[in-house]
Structure 1
Amino acid sequence: MDHVAEGFAIGLETHEWQREPDRAASRRQRLSARGPYRAAVPARIADLSVPVSAQTQAEVEDAIREITRFDADVTALAERRAQAEGEDPATELAPLASALLRTESASSSEIEGVTAGARALALAAIEAKTGPNAQLVTANVVAMQRAVELADDISVGSILAAHEALLGGHEYAAPGRFRTAQVWIGSNAVSPHTATFVPPHHTRVAAGMEDLISFVQRADLPVLVQCAIAHAQFETIHPFNDGNGRVGRMLVHAMLRHADVTRRLTVPISAGLLTDTSAYFRALTAYREGDLEPIVQQFANASFRAVANGRELVDDLERIYDGWSTRLASRRGSAARRLLPHLLNQPAVNVAHIQHVTGAALSAAQRAVEQLENVEILTRASSGRRNRVWLAPEVIDALDAFAERVGRRG
């Protein structure tokens, strides 16, 4: 490797292994799981110098400019619309910001093999019947919101809070708590002996996380370089039983918000990483060997892809909204009109949800549904008379098109 940075490579240490007696395994697997094993010893990175090549540095600076410009452009778009319609700019921006955050959460989950389409996610958000994957991605949306809200206080405590929001109720994951046992990475490995990567022994997690937070709080590094390395170090420490990848990518967004690179939006960087997950995982491996360049380049490239795809999604949603505004004849203050922006980020609704987001009475909410059905903005998702749900199919299609453009290769 040409860019090995001094001090970043992991060490290794030996630990005794106690085989889990109740775990099913073949004779070959049992034989391979005998004796001591070696686990990573994470580098202490809080005060290390962070060398990257001039070319990578230039790419990172360009990526940061693109992210900042995207955030500013979408905010300005919302402000112009608000001025034209006499609305609060925050009200106009919120649906676009929420839609982008949801796409980021969905992409981050898909990197971990947790996949759910836009329709399932929309239904899960109003607690309509969906599968477990949609519920997990919905929890990821909530956790991402929590992480961004805590951007001014990036600490061990705020990371634990994000993990609790992500996996609350899933006791196997010990939500909101660091792991207390050895974990390993490798789909076919029944013990750390044959694993692809063995993170640090659980007794090293707390100190490793304190060191990471000290690194995150530095102000002498290019922001995206710092984000990429902090993320890779987090994944190396692997502090939780489950949810490490998703929380580690939340950390990136909290850092971008803390540094004022993003002010109002969550740029879907995970969608950029999702395009080639094999390269992303190889970059994490290279980081553990002391080579910083690949993971930094992955985040720079992912940022460019995220901005391009995010702009296309925003354009699609704006076009849909303009078409709705033309088709719907009801007055500006009606419940149907007030519901339109909410449909951009939550394209599945029931009457109770409409009442909640518009403040309308039951009769007005029911009338809004009728008006929106008549102009084909909403279509009925179920045929029963009880627990009826309606969908905004144009938004579902736009969100699915975003996912298709990711074009996952690895």
Structure 2
Amino acid sequence: MEFEQTGRADSGQTSPAEVDPAWPAHVPEVRPWRQRSRGGTAADRMLSEVVAMRPPLIGHRDVRLSPELVGAMEACVLEIAALDHSHGAELAALETLLLRTESVASSKIEHIDASVDDFARALHGIKSNPSATSMAASTAALAALIRSVDEGGDIETAMVQTAHLALMVDDPHEHAYAGRFRDMQNWIGGSDHSPRNAVYVPPPPGTVDEYMADLVVFANRTDLPVLAQAAVVHAQFESVHPFTDGNGRIGRALINTVLRRRGATRRVVVPLASALVARRDDYFDVLGAYREGRIEPIIRSFTAASTVAARESRVTAARIAELQSTWQQKVGSRRGSAASRLLDGLIAAPIFSASEAEEAIGGATSSVYAGIERLHEAGVIRPLTNRTRNQVWGAADLLDELDDLAARIAAAAR
């Protein structure tokens, strides 16, 4: 695949006073072009050159920011810390929920959409909905990247490729390129068959390895404000566009990876993509500003998105903290019963099959099935498939909270 159609035109004109002198604009480079496969119009086939954009190398570049923005970032980091330290007993479940919320929203930026139940089924390996399957792959990719730095290790290009493999390995069109940096020219917008009228043409394929090596140098620094670092890592990654497809989702996964590596988060994921998808045009505008040599717009945008996402996620944490007692009241089961043991593990594993429930809690099969039915009758769980055997169940309140959290973040961002 030689193209990726995501995004929109870079925004407006840049006044010289707005350009950070420490951050050069991307530089155009005229390259010869030859169409590799026939298709499109005569103009596509006759195109002989393309103007690719060369981002600056950033590994050791200074980041200069206004005092006002630095203050906003510091306030945001405090909001994230409050989220990360709240409701310790529920944080494992909260991390899972926020990971899924972020993955769903990141997929929606790429116009990939599915219902929560479809997404839950896909997470459980039921591939009936291609969009939901793509969202589940996005969750796996984000988890792979974040967990790669959980012990404080550096971000490595190999980890980025592993995450891309998780994202694209089952994609019917892109699986051959899963986990590999591109060896062809790609572009954003314009024709499907050539870079004619493209909105943005990333640097030539022969430069990708150098750019990615430089990017991880910047990503592993410790002398930068963490939110600024995360935003610039994302913007630079999107400009390099190192993969044939899936760049947006991997690039947004890098944001939380930087936050985790720097210790801004320890146990949760900040679902800022829910705020970005609510203002999709603005998101592409700030990426365009970055390419013009202005880094503050994207840092400001990500700071605002992260603040909103962390604040609303704390509301979700409080709701999760109340679920256990609410469920017990609904079910009314005695301690030690199959229904009670199922409830004990429901927050940590809100999507499960009957066979998994039996393995998790033990006991007679008939008791496990009776416990599941009791939770179903009480409205605590709902079936996610039409199966009569080995049904997949989901914790209704938690799945609904995934939808509600994303909606609240989007509303606040607007």
Name the TM-score, length of structure 1 as normaliser: 0.89
Identify the residue that residue 293 of structure 2 maps to in structure 1: 290
Pick the aligned partner of 1:104 from 102, 105, 113. 102
Identify the residue that residue 44 of structure 2 maps to in structure 1: 30
Identify the residue that residue 141 of structure 1 maps to in structure 2: 139
Residue 168 (str. 1) matches residue 169 (str. 2): yes
Residues of 2 paired with 1:221 and 1:392: CA distance? 41
Residues of 2 paired with 1:314 and 1:158: CA distance? 30
Residues of 2 paired with 1:199 and 1:334: CA distance? 59
Amino acid at match of 1:114: I
Residues of 1 paired with 2:366 and 2:190: CA distance? 53
Amino acid at match of 2:27: G
TM-fit CA distance, 1:113: 1.3
Residues of 1 paired with 2:91 and 2:370: CA distance? 26
Residues of 2 paired with 1:48 and 1:129: CA distance? 44
Identify the residue that residue 185 of structure 1 maps to in structure 2: 188
Identify the residue that residue 160 of structure 2 maps to in structure 1: 159
More helix by share: 1
Residues of 1 paired with 2:282 and 2:345: CA distance? 37
Amino acid at match of 1:42: P
Count of residues in Structure 1 that have an aligned counterpart in Structure 2:
392
Q: Secondary structure, in 3 states, of the residue corresponding to 1:219?
A: coil
Counterparts in 2 of 1:3-402, with a 5 A limit?
A: 3-6=18-21, 7-23=23-39, 25-27=40-42, 29-30=43-44, 34-75=47-88, 78=89, 92-128=90-126, 130-151=128-149, 152-170=153-171, 172-173=174-175, 174-186=177-189, 188=191, 190-340=193-343, 342-344=345-347, 347-359=350-362, 362-381=365-384, 385-402=388-405
**Cα distance 1:48–1:381, how it changes in 2: closer, same or farther (>3 A)?**
closer
Q: Which runs of 5+ in 1 are unaligned?
A: 79-91
Q: Secondary structure, in 3 states, of the residue corresponding to 1:133?
A: helix
Q: Secondary structure, in 3 states, of the residue corresponding to 1:153?
A: coil
1:26-80 residue CA offsets vs partner (Å, 9 max, x unmatched): 34x437x5221110112111111111111111111111111111111132xx2xx
1:316-369 residue CA offsets vs partner (Å, 9 max, x unmatched): 333433310222222334442333355446544320232344455533421221
Amino acid at match of 2:174: Y
Amino acid at match of 1:56: L
Q: Secondary structure, in 3 states, of the residue corresponding to 2:18?
A: coil
TM-fit CA distance, 1:384: 5.1
Amino acid at match of 1:16: P
Amino acid at match of 2:332: A
Equivalent residues of 2:379, 2:396 under 8 A apart: no
Residues of 1 paired with 2:249 and 2:387: CA distance? 37
Amino acid at match of 1:138: A
Q: Percent identity?
A: 35
Equivalent residues of 2:190, 2:196 under 8 A apart: no
Equivalent residues of 2:358, 2:368 under 8 A apart: yes
TM-fit CA distance, 1:189: 5.1
**Cα distance 1:66–1:406, how it changes in 2: closer, same or farther (>3 A)?**
closer
**Cα distance 1:16–1:153, how it changes in 2: closer, same or farther (>3 A)?**
same
Residues of 1 paired with 2:315 and 2:264: CA distance? 20
Name the TM-score, length of structure 2 as normaliser: 0.88
Mean Cα deviation higher: 263-272 or 388-397: 388-397
Equivalent residues of 2:86, 2:317 under 8 A apart: no
Identify the residue that residue 86 of structure 1 maps to in structure 2: none
Q: Secondary structure, in 3 states, of the residue corresponding to 2:51?
A: strand
Identify the residue that residue 7 of structure 2 maps to in structure 1: none
Q: Secondary structure, in 3 states, of the residue corresponding to 1:192?
A: coil
**Cα distance 1:149–1:396, how it changes in 2: closer, same or farther (>3 A)?**
closer
Q: Compute the RMSD of aligned alpha carbons.
A: 2.2
Residues of 2 paired with 1:107 and 1:219: CA distance? 29
Equivalent residues of 1:189, 1:195 under 8 A apart: no
Amino acid at match of 1:120: D
**Cα distance 1:196–1:137, how it changes in 2: closer, same or farther (>3 A)?**
same
1:101-127 residue CA offsets vs partner (Å, 9 max, x unmatched): 111111111111111221111112222
Identify the residue that residue 408 of structure 2 maps to in structure 1: 405
Residues of 2 paired with 1:254 and 1:382: CA distance? 34
Equivalent residues of 2:127, 2:133 under 8 A apart: no
Equivalent residues of 1:199, 1:237 under 8 A apart: yes
TM-fit CA distance, 1:129: 5.2
**Cα distance 1:383–1:223, how it changes in 2: closer, same or farther (>3 A)?**
closer
Residues of 1 paired with 2:130 and 2:118: CA distance? 10
Identify the residue that residue 82 of structure 1 maps to in structure 2: none
Residues of 2 paired with 1:118 and 1:386: CA distance? 22
